[in-house]
Amino acid sequence: MQLVKYPETEQFRNVIKSIQYKTRYKGIDDEGKPQFDYSIPLPTIEYIGTIKTHGTNGGIGFDLETNEIYGQSRERVISLQQDNSGFMAFILKNKFQFSKIFDKIKNDYIEKVKIKKILIYGEWSGANDMRHYKQKIFNIFKIKLIHEDSEYWIEHEYIERLIKSEYNQFGIYSVYQFPTYKFQIDFNNPEYAQNEIANKVKEIEDYCPVWNFFKPEETEINIYGEGLVLTPINTEHYNSSDYVFKAKGQKHSTSKVKKIANVDIEKVNSVNEFVDNVLTESRLNQGIQYLNEMNIEICPKNTGTYLKWIADDVLKEESDILVESGLSWKDVVGKLNIVSKGFYFKYIN
């Protein structure tokens, strides 16, 4: 059997970049350089957050050509002789249940997608430290259908319907059997969603619903919740693993930059208000006129020249407003460039 590795779950900042690339990429120019249209607004995407549980990544594969069921860790195919915390033993013990699940998936999707393999991914939990749960569980979070030249991630609603309580007695669960959380993320202003996500992660850190469901009755130990995994839903164009991200709390973050921190929304609002006030249509058009006067071609390669003129003009004319607002140039220049660049490319188009 061949390993079908589960993709790494991204950080929020990397997903923002991926969304920008996906939305604004227009192809390659004659010199082989990527071209982007910064006038295109970024989407608002609905995300579902599922609780990230303690454990190790596990996968169960089904090969439709050989009818074999096999197991894998994040890095390798496993066996009874070379197991991963007893996961292969668990698969074999519950082979009948997993066969039922695979048959259901195959029958439901065989007419829609050419299937060569089915991979069920989840977290194998309670395996290394039995303080964590009163039983070992496989908590399913994703299902992938694979053909020779394509792959398809099954929508989360199907997993919700597929994994019912009848499987729980065998230690088979899905992340959708526990509390989930919806977030609307406007990628033009992702800071606004960031606070909402960070606050929810803090709640889960302090009181993890999964831990409190599975904890041994006699224990007084509190195991902190790890955080959330956020997956886009109800979208046709942003449904690959590139747009899934994790949000860990500080207690489970391996570095301080990996956690989603709260942002100062009052400051974000002040920045947006300042930019909205100083980037009038008149000033943005004056930047265009400057390029014309200087015989500079209005095209993507001269974006930097346009942005510099706008920034210099704002600094020259609006420094007093900047000071009165309590903001620094570092606070506002990024947003100034984003809005100015959007206007410039809209003008080009």
Amino acid at 147: H
Is the four-CA dihedral 206, 209, 211, 215 of positive or negative sign? positive
Residue 203: which CATH number?
3.30.470.30
pLDDT score, position 177: 96
Buried b (16+ CB within 10 A) or exposed e, 31-69: eeeeebebebebbebebbbbbbbbbebbbbbbbbeeeeb
| Same structural domain, 249 and 277 | no
pLDDT in tens, 74-98: 999 999 999 998 999 999 999 999 9
Q: What is the DSSP letter of 242?
A: G
Q: In this structure, is residue 301 part of a structural domain?
A: yes
Q: In this structure, is residue 5 part of a structural domain?
A: no
Domain around 271: 265-348
Q: At what angle do helices 303-324 and 329-348 cross, to 10 degrees?
A: 140
| Same structural domain, 104 and 207 | yes
- Cβ-contact 248, 236 below 8 angstroms: no
| Same structural domain, 70 and 200 | yes
Q: Taking Cα atoms as reference points, which of 162, 83, 95 lies closest to residue 124?
A: 83
Of 210, 242, 258, the one marking the end of a domain is 258
Instruction: Please tell me the total number of residues recorded for the chain in this structure.
Output: 349
pLDDT score, position 215: 75
| Same structural domain, 193 and 298 | no
| CA distance to 20, 39, 176, 295, 338, per residue, from 243 (Å) | 11, 21, 19, 42, 21
| Same structural domain, 208 and 281 | no
- Cβ-contact 195, 263 below 8 angstroms: yes
Q: Taking Cα atoms as reference points, which of 341, 335, 330 lies closest to residue 277?
A: 335
**Would strands 34-36 and 77-78 be described as parallel, antiparallel, or unpaired?**
unpaired
pLDDT in tens, 261-287: 667 778 888 888 899 999 999 999 999
Q: What is the DSSP letter of 286?
A: H
pLDDT score, position 132: 60
| Same structural domain, 167 and 194 | yes
- Cα distance between residue 120 and residue 53, in whole Å: 16
Q: What is the pLDDT along the chain (349 residues), one digit of tens a residue?
A: 789 999 999 999 999 999 999 999 999 888 888 889 999 999 999 999 999 887 889 999 999 999 999 999 999 999 999 999 899 999 999 999 999 999 999 999 988 888 999 999 999 987 555 446 778 899 999 999 998 788 899 999 999 999 999 999 999 999 999 999 999 999 999 988 998 999 999 999 888 888 888 876 776 666 677 899 999 998 888 888 889 999 987 665 544 444 566 677 788 888 888 999 999 999 999 999 999 989 999 999 899 999 999 999 999 998 888 888 888 999 999 999 999 999 999 999 8
Structurally, the chain folds into a number of domains equal to: 2
Of 195, 228, 258, the one marking the end of a domain is 258
Q: In this structure, is residue 49 part of a structural domain?
A: yes
- Cα distance between residue 120 and residue 269, in whole Å: 43
- Would you call 51 helix, strand, or coil by DSSP? strand
pLDDT score, position 256: 46
Q: In this structure, is residue 3 part of a structural domain?
A: no
| Same structural domain, 187 and 38 | yes
Average pLDDT, the chain: 89
Of 204, 236, 258, the one marking the end of a domain is 258
- Cα distance between residue 75 and residue 72, in whole Å: 7
Ramachandran class of 227: left when φ > 0, alpha when ψ lies in -120 to 50, beta otherwise: left
| Same structural domain, 70 and 120 | yes
